[in-house]
Each structure stands twice: as structure tokens, then as C-alpha cells.
Amino acid sequence: MTQLTVPVITIDGPSGVGKGTLAQYLTGKTHFHLLDSGAIYRALAFGAVKNRLALDDVSGLVTLAESLPVEFVATSILYEGEDVTSKVRTEEVAGVASTVAVISEVRAALMARQKAFAVLPGLVADGRDMGTVVFQSADLKLYLTASAEIRAERRVNQLKNQGVSANIHKITRDIKERDERDLNRQTAPLKPADDAIIVDTSYLNIEDVCKKIDSLLWDRGLIK
């Protein structure tokens, strides 16, 4: 193990690469706790929209972040006790989340909240800067990637399965714009940690990805 007293696995990468599915698999495999940091930012974005906060109201956003009424229960996201799992997954909320995530003061306000999830027996942390910023001494750092076009196809299929029509050209454009913001933000830009293992999921199904990761878990002593 590293210097961390609590074992941590980080999974970073842009949206639509399979981070959430892999995180769920790893929590089942290791029996670790789960931190979906993207859901925290989406919950903050949801709260900002709900409270009609301007996206340039840094003080208001920081205040909301410091007392963010979000909880994770199994696979559900609760905001002020209400199940908002589907509401925080909309493209509108995702766009707001990407916008507020570039604000350094907001990221700092949410840092302590995220670190507090690292408790025994361990943590799987899914996000964009888990391995580079929040848990720099993690025992295993993974970075998933895939082309914007493949990710857009996945999103369209996901929406169709939910009975929602979607324009693949618009979704592709939105994904590329979000990537551009994430890659070029001054605070915690989206990139692999220097010691991260990079997995391109463009042409892999989740079973293939999990097989690749299983041997790493054994090698790092994260499962026995």
C-alpha cells in the first residue's frame, strides 16, 4: 500500500467513457465505498439552477458548495432528501456542472467533502481529477478515454432507451465543447495522472475493461 491508511482506487476521464459502470464493478469486487465526484458537481449545478444562482456568482456557488445537501444512497443521488438521480443526469445540468467546475473557489470548497469519503475498507473515486488532485497517493489510478463520436453514440443510445429523442450532432458538439473546457481550465485540467494506467474504451465493452483491471487489483493487493 501507499502512504494512505485507506486504500483508494481512482478512475478519471471525460464523460461517456464508462467510468461509472467500472466504478460500480470495482465497488462490488472490492467492497469499497464509492465516490462519484461528477455527481457532486452535478448536484451543485442542480442546486444552482434550483436556487437561480448566476453562474458567475462565485460567492453564492461557494456558499452552496460548502453546505451542499447531497447524499448517495446505493445508486441514488439525494438532494435535500429528494431522489434527483435522473434530474442531475440531463444535458442541461451537465453543461452547468462543467461551467462551475472551472471555478477554482468552487473546487476548493468541494475538496474536503470529497476527501471525507475515504474511509475503511477503502474507496473507489470516479471523476476527472481524482488521481491528479484529490487522491494523489491512490493505490491504483485509472484513466479511461474514448473518442467524442463514440461517446456521443453511447449517449444517444442511452437516451433512446429512456424514450428520449436526441440529436447526435448536437450531443457530439456539446461533448467536444465540454472536453475543451475541461482540458483547458486553469484549475485541475482534465488529464491522466503521471502514474495512471490509460485504457481506451472506444472499442471495448465493459466486460473487456473489467478483465483488464482485475489483474491490476490482484497485483496491487486490493483484492485477495
For the chain, 224 residues long, give each residue's pLDDT as a single digit of tens: 444 589 999 999 998 899 999 999 999 999 999 999 989 999 999 999 999 999 999 999 999 999 899 888 877 899 999 999 999 988 789 889 988 988 989 989 999 888 988 999 999 999 999 999 999 999 999 999 999 999 999 989 888 888 888 899 999 999 999 899 888 888 788 999 999 999 999 999 888 999 889 989 988 889 87
How many angstroms separate the Cα of 97 from the Cα of each of 74, 88, 103, 127, 128?
22, 9, 10, 12, 12
Query: How open is the CA angle 194-174-94, to the nearest 5 degrees?
Result: 75
| Res 195: pLDDT | 96
Looking at the domain covering 8-211, what would its CATH class be?
A: alpha beta
DSSP symbols for 200-214? E-TT--HHHHHHHHH
Q: Which residues pair with 70 in a beta bridge?
A: 79
| Res 3: pLDDT | 47
How many angstroms separate the Cα of 183 from the Cα of each of 153, 163, 175?
21, 32, 12
pLDDT tens-digit readout, 42-82: 999 999 999 999 999 999 999 999 989 988 887 789 999 99
Q: Is 18 helix (H, G, I), strand (E, B) or coil?
A: coil
Alpha helices in the chain (DSSP H): 19-30, 37-50, 58-66, 91-100, 104-115, 148-161, 168-184, 206-219
Domain boundaries, the chain: 8-211
The model's pTM: 0.82
